[in-house]
Structures are given as C-alpha cells and as structure tokens.
Structure 1
C-alpha cells in the first residue's frame, strides 16, 4: 500500500531532520518527516542543549557562529521560544598539561573566528565568581549559552505543523529502493514515494546508508548527563574544562545540568542505553571540583543518549555518491549548536541554490575505487 508521493522525505526527526524538513517546506516542497520514535527525543532531546564555541571543532566554528545567532533569535525564524539563555563561557585548566591543551584549542578556534581569549585565574574569577580558585588559567568566550532541549522539540513540532510538513512519528523506515520517479521508503505495511530523500538518522546513518550498499562506519557514543535539585545561584556561565570532560550550566529555575561526554552503556542496534555508576560519580566529582558550591546540592536524575561521530569527527552533509536525489546530514560531534545552520545550507543545495557555506561531502570517508577523498586538515578539537 502506498501512502502517496512527496517532493522530499526526511528520515530522522532530530534537529537536523526537523530543520531540513522545515526549510524545504518553506521553500515550496511537499515534505514528509519520518521518525522511528518521538520527534526530537533521541540525541536532540537527551542532550544538555549547550550552544558553545569552546566544544566545537575549529572547522565548524563559522557554522556554529551563524547557528548561535539563529538560536538566540529562534522566535523570529522558528516562530516559538526555545528557552535560550545567552551568556559567557569558560573552559578551565587546572594543570600544566591542561594549560597547553587549552592554549592550543583556543588558538585554533580563535583563528577560525570564535571570540575566544585566554584569561588569568583572577580574570576568570571576575567572570565566574563561583569557580575553583585552584585553576591556573581559563579560556573565555563571550558567545555561549544553552537552549532547553525539551522546549526545542515542542517548538519544532509547532513550526513543522504550521509549515504544512507531514510528520510521522513512531514510523520506522526499514528500507529504501529506487523507483522510476525517485525512491520508495518501506514502512511496514506501507511504502512512501518521494522524488528526493534526506537521511538524518544520527547513529543510525550507518545502517541507513547500508540500504544503498554504502559502508560508512559511524561511531556510537553513549553520553551521560545528570541534573541536580534546585539550588540557589552557584554559577552564571557555561563551564567546561580543557579536556572536554565537563559541561556545566545552571538553568534559570535553579537546577544544574552536568555533562561532558562521560560514557554510559548500551547498543545502537537494540536502541538500549543506560547510565554507568562510575561515570555518574566521576562526572559529578569533576563538576564539584570546578564549582565547589555544588558540593551542597544533590543529584536527582541521570540519563544517557546516543551521539554519532564519524572517523574524523566532522559531519557528513551533502549528496550521497551514486544515488541522485539522496542526501545525508548528521553525525556532527557536539553538533547541537551548529545543526540549524548546517541544515539551512543543505536545504539551499536541495532547492537548487548555492549554499552559503560549503557542505561536508561523505566522499572523504569512503574507501575503494572511484571514491574522491576530500582533504581534511588535522586540527585540535
């Protein structure tokens, strides 16, 4: 049974997929968005909503700067508030080796356009009075902040509805085959026909590309986060450390969200993920080390979620080689910040326009005859 034909079918309802579907519909396309679970509730719904330059790879800084502006002005283009708080960001160094790492990464990101400068511990204490006085130095960025991931999902749902996108939740796609007029997507017990396809499945991009006999390994990270009970003001910045193992912020209502890539347990194929006690304890100890006042509060919940990463930790965004009309977008490490703008650039290409910034073709990651490697310069994270 066929459910009709669309100009564009987007497979995956995270921020990447929802943004592409929204922009394409506003560009005049008849769009269906297919999500195996609930809209924006996988990686896009279980992360901390951090909007940061300090944890973004240097190659993505120009995209993150544009996207940060989009996030701050979300009511203008998305049509709804997503709880964005714009504030300063600090990354801390406690040891000599962390100082070296911090300087290297700050230099790389600053050269890419991020307003990041190195500051003394006295200057850091003025920016964030709650910081541990044992720090040696810090890097400071005036463009930082966070969104509310839950509100973001609600905002996209309303915006997609207003734009006329057909949203199909709990509709897992099981296969993709070419047809005379494009492609057919298999959803048991029906099929959906579309002239163009965009795959935005995050960690599931690897099996999705397998539908087209393309082998591209996608690493699955199982990132953990925790949240504290409501407490009085203990910090006013987005905080991290040089190693990247801490992401810390206090929301307006008083809870503090603790993250930083500590790993839980789970499996992409089963879809199961769970927290690790050791990671929860280690992450909390690091948070208390950075902001000592947190010692007086308690954790109330911890959770885990999948994050995708390519071999070079840069995204795959662009056409799928050998399959006209099929596009891919995702696997952006720490990609919540840059997702809306990257999706904007991809949608420009899908609509036949020249993207404002270059895409990230997957050819560079494909081995074998006929693959065209796109050089990617090594860089600090």
Structure 2
C-alpha cells in the first residue's frame, strides 16, 4: 500500500508527488496518459507576473525562481527556462486605465511592475508598434519550453522513488477503513492518502468522493511561426490579456493569449476556431509589426481549467479525511511547481510557507 496516490500527472501533480516522496512517503503517481502531456505540456510556457492574479503574486515570485533553478532541484531536469523582461501593452485609453489599475494591485502584492510611456516601451523593445500608449514593464518575466515539462520531472520522480503509473486511467475511488482503493483497468491501487490533481477533470474526480466542485474549461489556441531572425527580446502581452508573445532560441515565435478553440473536457481540443485564429495573429502583428512577414507553421489546442474565482483549489477535501486536491487556476503553469511544494508540506504535517486555498468557498450548494 502506498502512503499517497496522486491522480493526475501535470506540473502540480508531479511537483506534489516529488516533494511528498522526498519527504519520506511512498508515492504513486497515476495518469491516463503520459506525464505532463495535457495542459502542462501544450501551454505557452509563460512565466509572467503581469497575467497573474494579484493574490497569487507571492506564489508566482517563488515559482519563477523554481523554474529558473529547475536543473538544481529537479535532478537535472530542464525546461530551458529563460529570464527576460516583460511588457504589457495598452493601445487605447480604456486599455491604459485597465493597465494602471491592474499594475497598482500587483505592485501592492510585490510585483516590481512600473508603468512606462509608449516611447520608453519602444526603447525596451525596439520592434514594438509606435501606437503603444502605455506599457507595464516588469523585469521579472520569462518563459519555458512547456513540452519539456514531463521530460524534466521524470528522472527526478524516479530518483525519489515515485511509482509512475502512466496510461493508467482511474475510473473511481472507494473508501475503506484507513485506505482508498483506486479503480483502474489494470487492477486496484491502494493508498492511505489521495491527491486529486486532474486539472479540467477535477469536477468529475471530486464527484467520486461526493463533492460538487464546478470547474470551468477553456480551450486555448496557440500558434507558432517559422524560425525568424531575432524580432523581440521581451515577453509581450496586452492589457486585455488576449496576447502572449515570446521568441525562442531557435527563432520561432509562440503566439497565445487565450483565444478559444472548439472542444470540451470530454473530447479534448477538436478544432481551431478560424475567426479567433485570425484575430490572434492580427493582434500579434499589430503589437510587433515584424510578424506581418512571418509564416505560421502550426496551431494547436490546450485545455485550461479554472475555478469560479480563478484562484486555486489547493487543500484538504471537506469531510473526506486524508483526501486532498490541487489545480484549476488561471495561468496555473506559472505557479504550478510551487503550489505542489506547498501542498506536500501540508500533507507531511508542516506549516506551508504560504497559505493554501481551501475549496470550501467553491463547493456547489446542495438543493434545499
């Protein structure tokens, strides 16, 4: 029997399992596919504070450092994390007002964001459009190669003694005296504690334990260009949140921003939505005119989960002893490794370095 079974091997599940194992627990990590091949492996890899909720800035600051130092604490695993400045752009007066308000809250939470003029923004990023009115500048920003996330975690998990059960679908959980029995097509897995870390599938997984936890599902579109000469040296976004731009070392430019595609949690991402694809590309070229000459290589979809307030679900599951949950937060990749570390601290009986986010606030009310 395992001391803990973590169901869902995205970045949060992997980090939780790794830190539990290093804390002395015998841990099983299960996923219906390969580790970090859902949202954690197909997102834009953005490590920005300017798209992070103010309440999560202290967490994101610590996670940013973890990403940059990943080869040190993750047994040599590397996601090619790159540190660089970030700019959030405003092209209209309404966007400028939005930028000012959000920067104020994020600064109060500890993010070193300053507002700069459009002219100053062009000095920081010479390729910018001259139509920028105002920009938020943050020296702490960056990005990773998200598709490397699972490859980075795997050797660390194995070295820590975590039992990896990939392509092992869990269909339900039974509670028996002092243990949980996970039902899988290859036979049961028993553990004294469980962690639900299933991202967009947390709503269904919580239902195994009689908990009604509504989870919103986003079907984000991403686009990558051909290799280009250097056209940018920062991470770029817009105040509305509808753009994320970064250029990798190989010259490709990744274009994101949460434009929605076609799909759902049951069938996954099905198809790119043409009008959103065009809108995303046009906005990118508006912000960085050099992209007008770029050719698109491919586009893909990734599912993202959100709670009702876009803050994390991290903590014990009410009325189910030794059951825990983690996941489903806007831009969760950015803070993912640190969230997993915090949950492991709590499960190991220590006081977490920063508070968790118990799910009592999110639970659907039973009908009277």
TM-score range, shorter chain: over 0.9
Query: Alpha carbon RMSD of aligned pairs, Å?
Result: 0.9
Name the SS for the 1:105 alignment partner.
Answer: helix
- Matches for 1:96-175 after TM superposition, within 5 Å: 96-175=93-172
Structure 2 unmatched ranges of 5 or more: none
Q: In structure 1, what is the Cα distance between the partners aligned to 2:18 and 2:363?
A: 30
- What's 1:69 paired with? 65
Q: In structure 2, what is the Cα distance between the partners aligned to 1:214 and 1:107?
A: 37
Name the SS for the 2:170 alignment partner.
Answer: coil
Segment of structure 1 superposing worse, 14-23 or 178-187: 178-187
The alignment status of 1:360 with 2:367, answered yes or no, reads: no
- Pairwise CA distance, 1:366: 1.9
- After TM superposition, the runs of 4+ consecutive aligned structure 1 residues lying more than 3 A away are none
- Matches for 1:118-267 after TM superposition, within 5 Å: 118-267=115-264
Q: In structure 1, what is the Cα distance between the partners aligned to 2:34 and 2:276?
A: 27
- Pairwise CA distance, 1:274: 2.5
Name the SS for the 1:113 alignment partner.
Answer: coil
- Pairwise CA distance, 1:272: 4.3
Of 24, 40, 46, the residue aligned with 1:28 is 24
Normalised TM-score (structure 1): 0.94
- What's 2:344 paired with? 347
- What's 1:375 paired with? none
Name the SS for the 2:195 alignment partner.
Answer: strand
- Pairwise CA distance, 1:74: 0.8
Q: In structure 1, what is the Cα distance between the partners aligned to 2:189 and 2:69?
A: 35
Contact 2:41 2:148 in 1 (8 A): no
Structure 1 residues 14-42: Cα deviation after superposition (integer angstroms, max 9, x where no partner): 00000001111111111110001111010
- Pairwise CA distance, 1:189: 4.1
Of 37, 59, 63, the residue aligned with 1:41 is 37
Contact 1:273 1:305 in 2 (8 A): no
Q: In structure 2, what is the Cα distance between the partners aligned to 1:271 and 1:54?
A: 28
- Pairwise CA distance, 1:147: 0.8
- Pairwise CA distance, 1:122: 1.3
- What's 2:280 paired with? 283
Structure 1 residues 154-212: Cα deviation after superposition (integer angstroms, max 9, x where no partner): 01011111111111111110001111121110002411100000000000000000111
Contact 1:33 1:167 in 2 (8 A): yes
Q: In structure 2, what is the Cα distance between the partners aligned to 1:99 and 1:271?
A: 36
The alignment status of 1:305 with 2:302, answered yes or no, reads: yes
Q: In structure 1, what is the Cα distance between the partners aligned to 2:218 and 2:225?
A: 23
Aligned residues: 365
